[in-house]
């Protein structure tokens, strides 16, 4: 478990089903040291993680990156939120499922984006009870990979809450 761990630039969760709980005052995923230098965020690598009540501000690259998960692995992001993410809040580069429950995002590019250039596999995202304001799409998935998105009780002002992509940057209609 990672909880208020001090001035780091990257938090890496690599064990099977690790949990990060209640970290506050983050820049790019890790607690601020001094100034506004953004860190790399939280990496969930090699299997499902449970990320509960994590808050991110001034996100640099991605607040949360899910990497090298396999089909059948599940990552749960429960509670928490992010502010000021010019691009993605959550980047999914593996092949499993991501559940995003009761998350808050404000001033963001995308809350969740599946990888457009990674190994071809169908990624799955389930979004419930999320509030997303003053940003782009809530979910961006890669249609050609067979990605699937389910949005339930999402409160957003996004023009297109769920966006299909054809590769890394080419939009291909609403989900």
Q: Is residue 3 part of a domain?
A: no
Q: Quick check: is 74 in a domain? A: yes
Supply the range of the domain harboring residue 124. Answer: 10-174
Q: What is the pLDDT of residue 6?
A: 37
pTM of the model: 0.84
Q: Is 144 helix (H, G, I), strand (E, B) or coil?
A: helix
Q: How would you write the pLDDT of the chain (175 residues) with one tens digit per residue?
A: 333 333 334 455 554 555 665 554 444 444 444 344 556 688 888 878 999 999 998 888 899 999 999 999 999 999 999 999 999 999 999 999 999 999 999 999 999 999 988 888 999 999 999 999 999 999 999 988 999 999 999 999 999 999 999 977 789 999 9
Report yes or no on 97 lying in a domain. Answer: yes
- Domain total of the chain: 1
CB-count exposure of residue 16 (10 Å: 0-12, 13-18, 19+): exposed
What is the Cα–Cα distance from 81 to 63, expressed in whole angstroms? 10
Q: Is residue 1 part of a domain?
A: no
Q: Is residue 34 part of a domain?
A: yes
């Amino acid at each position: 478990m990672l909880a208020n761990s001090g001035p780091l630039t990257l938090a890496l969760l690599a064990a099977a089903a690790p949990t990060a709980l209640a970290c506050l005052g983050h820049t790019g995923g890790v607690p601020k040291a001094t100034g506004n230098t953004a860190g790399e965020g939280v990496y969930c690598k090699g299997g499902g993680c449970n990320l509960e009540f994590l808050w991110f501000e001034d996100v640099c690259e991605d607040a949360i990156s899910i990497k090298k998960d396999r089909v059948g692995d599940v990552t749960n992001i429960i509670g928490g939120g992010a502010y000021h993410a010019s691009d993605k809040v959550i980047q999914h580069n593996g092949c499993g499922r991501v559940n995003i429950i009761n998350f808050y995002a404000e001033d963001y590019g995308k809350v969740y984006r599946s990888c457009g250039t990674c190994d071809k596999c169908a990624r799955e995202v389930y979004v419930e009870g999320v509030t997303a304001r003053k940003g782009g799409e809530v979910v961006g998935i890669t249609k050609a990979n067979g990605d699937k998105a389910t949005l339930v009780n999402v409160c957003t002002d996004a023009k297109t809450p769920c966006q299909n992509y054809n590769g890394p940057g080419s939009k291909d209609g609403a989900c």
